[in-house]
Amino acid sequence: MSEQSKKPPLGTYFRQKREEKGLLIRQVAAVTELDQAIISRIENNDRLPTKEQLFKLSGLYNLDLKETYSAWLAEKMVRDYGDEPFATDAMQEARDRVSSSMPPQHDQMSVLFRLAEPETNYNKKPDFSRFKSKPNKPGEENKNDSPT
C-alpha cells in the first residue's frame, strides 16, 4: 500500500485540523467567508473544495500548500477517473508528460503561489476573539483563560 493511500481523504483531514484547533464550522465559515454547508460537505467528503476554497482552508489551518494542493489534485483525479479500466496507465502517462513540461522544483512553488491570488493573504492569523469559546467539560480548565 502506498503512502498516499494511507492518508485520509482531504475533507476528513480538514475536519481533523478544525477539531484540533477547537473551531466550530461557523467560525471557519466566518473567517474564510465560505458557506457553512459547503464546509460541512467538504468535511463529509461529499464534495471537493474549489481551488480557492482549498487555499483558504489550507491557510487557515497553517497547512503545507504543496501537500494539500497535491492531495487535492490526486483526489480529483481519483474521483473523476479512478473507476476507468486503464486509469493507472493513463495517470502514469500524464505524470510523464507533466514531468517533462514542468519548471524545475524551486519554480513549481512560485507557480503554485501565483494561483493563490497574491493580493489575498490566506496565511495570516485569523482573529477568533469575537467568538465565545466552547464551554468546558466539568473538571477542565479553559485554555483561553489566563491564570489568576
Q: What string of pLDDT tens digits covers the 148 residues of the chain? A: 445 458 899 999 999 999 999 999 999 999 999 999 999 999 999 999 999 999 999 999 999 998 999 999 999 999 999 899 998 898 889 888 887 776 665 555 565 655 555 445 545 556 656 655 555 556 555 554 444 4
Q: What predicted TM-score, i.e. pTM, was given to this entire model?
A: 0.67
- Cβ neighbors of 58 (< 8 A, separation 6 or more) are 64, 65, 68, 69, 122
Cell reading at 116? 493563490
56: nearest Cα among 127, 122, 128, 125: 122
Alpha-carbon distance of 38 to 46, in angstroms, equals 9
User: H or E stretch including 60?
Assistant: helix 51-60
Alpha-carbon distance of 22 to 65, in angstroms, equals 21
Phi, psi of 147 (to 5 degrees): -65, 145
3-115 has CATH 2.40.33.10 classification = no
**Per-position b or e across 8-35, b if 16+ CB within 10 A of its CB:** ebbbebbbebbeeeebebebbbebbebe
- Listed by start position, the domains of the chain span 3-115
